[in-house]
Structure 1
């Protein structure tokens, strides 16, 4: 593992990773949230505290720093659930944003790290950042730039500090959103490049963007969709309810997995020669159109939950910790169960 017991006790103790992203092969970002005991949860409920506003932290792990000095963090209090994305343009930074607007501003706050001091950026919903028509769903890197998608078919690109470009033109909203159980996207997106992007979500709601114009895609299901991956094999992979998965492109699609996975695939990314998929319940791969559970060492598989890829690295993080794959090899970054046990032993047997 790539963390000292002292760092773990000060920064990561009694927590889990809500999301992860990559700034470069040497800099990983994690969103940290606390793990509460049953008694603490009951106390929250008795006091009427909103559990979505529990303290959070943006964690930066820098591989090139010496052992004991690789982990950095910023605590955020009163923030809603946060997602993270990495950008290389215009600067190498992590963009960390609330998924839901919080009273009283009713805007999604943004916190930025990298290429200088960390800072709270303009909230999404301001005059130069107003592209969201629903909640924020996904942050993802395309050709170095950070893109975002959200509810009611929202799509935008971060151009600079406090400045986002809206690509909502040509994307109609549903007049009766939610009526008869029908919802629009977007829950996820991916692109072969900035002129060949697929966005999906809602009730089988899939669109293609060529950099200027949106085109609706006739998709073969109305089931809820939640993840998209543009593969290095030229195919687009779209997955939804209970892991129901399709492969195709343009107007040609075929079902390659009928589902049956309780949580479905939260994230899908292309790495090396296949699609990698994950939920809190495990990691899967798609290779040559076949979906199967990934064969991983226990300390790696326990990190299932979230995936991000960039700069030749695959990053996995979740309830059990974090790990990454590079040059065909998996490396454990931190295992929460192991470190919690070591911390207990250390506290029970303090050094003289």
Structure 2
């Protein structure tokens, strides 16, 4: 299968870097965050913010040779990538830094900055950027939830949270929504909350294991993944364990695409078929990809450190790969 990014662009943009995050802006535009590959003995002597970071925009409708561009960023700590879709001034990608100010750099499709700050000095600690109903949300530990309502303006969505000192037992790592008045956030140890448009309310959850993802699915259910790769499903507030995983890591991402729940971790890609987790197979062969993923506008993209593939519901396509 031919790779979409040609050799010249791969050598200039991806060679020597590994992909750590992906976000789909629409079916024509995909954003990656990549960091320089550094040997462990050298990386151990650096702060995470000293590792060179690139934000890369891939245009899926452009021909090879004119479909990829990037920016170099400095001082980014444990970055994650997301998108903004409400036109202020226009849709773009964005990458965040897990630092004291919550640095945000908008980029791509003619956008390059300016640098934004989620909440200076407050350690918003973005663990995920999620675009819900057009607006971008940042979630972090100690039940941190912020919403971007215009350029450089983020507001904290906190009504309903108790005024207690945050700990690692408190969320959040992920957020999802059916609507602005039906939103869920999870993280910490069994820390699950619901937002009704006015305030947050804690939901009883049958386990205190570490939680990783929440998905408001097209079948009307809410799916939560947690420690060991386990899965729970709920319609509102009654939770049922549907899979008891044996993994040593969390799922990185879980999303609803083409009437299925898809899950990706650092070493596997799986679908939930209603009874069990199954490998992703296309034309009788397992799809050789894992890592992080995102989907929007009919396009699913999965990215491992060195490869990226897309799926439009019918065909898998190699987007990025070494030459």
What is the TM-score of this pair, normalised by structure 2? Answer: 0.92
Matched, 1:138 2:128: yes
CA 1:298/1:140 → structure 2, altered by over 3 Å: closer, same or farther? farther
* Residues 101, 123 of structure 2: 8 Å contact kept: no
CA displacement 1:271-327 (0-9 Å, x = unmatched): 011110011111011122532332358998443111111111111112231111113
Q: Which residue of 2 aligns with 1:322?
A: 308
Matched, 1:107 2:101: yes
CA 1:107/1:251 → structure 2, altered by over 3 Å: closer, same or farther? same
How far apart, CA to CA, are the structure 2 residues paired with 1:328 and 1:209?
Answer: 36
Q: Summarize the alignment of residues 53-92 of structure 1 with structure 2, pairs less than 5 Å apart.
A: 53-90=50-87, 91-92=90-91
> Which one has the bigger helix percentage?
1
Matched, 1:119 2:113: yes
CA 1:285/1:161 → structure 2, altered by over 3 Å: closer, same or farther? same
* Residues 157, 165 of structure 1: 8 Å contact kept: yes
User: What is the Cα-based RMSD across aligned positions, in Å?
Assistant: 2.1
CA 1:53/1:173 → structure 2, altered by over 3 Å: closer, same or farther? farther
3-state secondary structure, aligned to 1:11:
helix
CA 1:3/1:133 → structure 2, altered by over 3 Å: closer, same or farther? closer
How far apart, CA to CA, are the structure 1 residues paired with 2:205 and 2:244?
Answer: 15
* Residues 48, 77 of structure 2: 8 Å contact kept: no
Matched, 1:221 2:212: no
- Give unpaired runs (5+ residues) of structure 1: 340-352
How far apart, CA to CA, are the structure 1 residues paired with 2:101 and 2:126?
Answer: 10
3-state secondary structure, aligned to 2:281:
coil
Paired positions, count: 319
* Residues 142, 166 of structure 2: 8 Å contact kept: no
How far apart, CA to CA, are the structure 1 residues paired with 2:70 and 2:190?
Answer: 39
* Residues 229, 236 of structure 1: 8 Å contact kept: yes
* Residues 285, 294 of structure 1: 8 Å contact kept: yes
Q: Which residue of 2 aligns with 1:347?
A: none
Q: Which residue of 1 aligns with 2:177?
A: 191
Matched, 1:18 2:34: no
3-state secondary structure, aligned to 1:314:
strand
Matched, 1:285 2:282: no
How far apart, CA to CA, are the structure 2 residues paired with 1:29 and 1:206?
Answer: 29
Decide which structure has the larger Cα Rg and report it: 1
Matched, 1:151 2:132: no
CA 1:60/1:231 → structure 2, altered by over 3 Å: closer, same or farther? same
